[in-house]
Amino acid sequence: MQTERVWDPITRLWHWLFAAAVVGNWLLGRFMTFDTVRWHFYGGYLVLALLAFRLIWGFCGPQPARFRSFLPTPAGVRSHLRTLLKREPGGAPGHNPLGALSVYAMLLVIALQAGAGLFIEADDFFEAAILHPHVSSDTASFMSAWHHTLPVIILILVVLHVVAIVFYQFWKRESLTRAMVTGRKQVRRD
């Protein structure tokens, strides 16, 4: 194992901004009032902007941030699962296969959530979302139903993410949080 710089400053900054935007907007949506609905809309636009940036960065950013560098394979997932309970750092140079699946799941579900929010009406609190005037009421109702269902899935994914971080910290003795703050991570080079 050797300590290497894995996560670049832009990826790390994006990660923390995205986490704050998602959690903040989830809270604004969950405890929405007449005074906060406007901020929920703006928070949704921020989440979409951050997702757009991550999509671009996933294709032209540094190697560890590129989507192709952490595409999980069935064999990679099986191999990772066989060593998951060992009390030693995993040492993946970036995301391990389960972490990669988690990243893809969170990005997809949050993109669906934020995208659905573009089509719904805000029940007389505030003007409709920007795409609402361009769709039928059935489409707006469908998107609204998804927009009100997906936060539960997002909450589950975020809780699993935090549980995995705690598991790696205390069981595997690998600080994923420190790696996302400093950019440096213990990597196994065989």
| In the predicted structure, residue 5 carries a pLDDT above the cut 80 | yes
Domain 2-187 architecture: Up-down Bundle (1.20)
Instruction: Pick the closest to residue 70 from 94, 89, 90 (CA basis).
Output: 94
Rounded to whole angstroms, how far apart are CA atoms 53 and 151?
22
* Model confidence pTM above 0.85: yes
The predicted structure's pLDDT at residue 131: 81
**SS3 assignment, position 169:** helix
Q: What is the number of other CB atoms lying within 10 angstroms of the CB of residue 70?
A: 22
Q: Phi and psi (nearest 5°) for 174?
A: -130, 115
The residues, any chain, with a CB within 8 Å of residue 171's CB and separated by 6 or more, are: 85, 87
Q: How far from 47 is each of 19, 81, 92, 106, CA to CA, in Å?
A: 9, 32, 28, 12
* Lowest mean pLDDT segment, chosen from 75-84, 132-141, 168-177: 132-141
| In the predicted structure, residue 127 carries a pLDDT above the cut 90 | no
Domain segments of the chain as ranges: 2-187
DSSP letter at 92 equals -
Q: Is the distance from CB of 64 to CB of 6 less than 8 angstroms?
A: yes
The residues, any chain, with a CB within 8 Å of residue 187's CB and separated by 6 or more, are: 1, 2, 3, 4, 6, 91, 92, 93
| In the predicted structure, residue 128 carries a pLDDT above the cut 80 | no
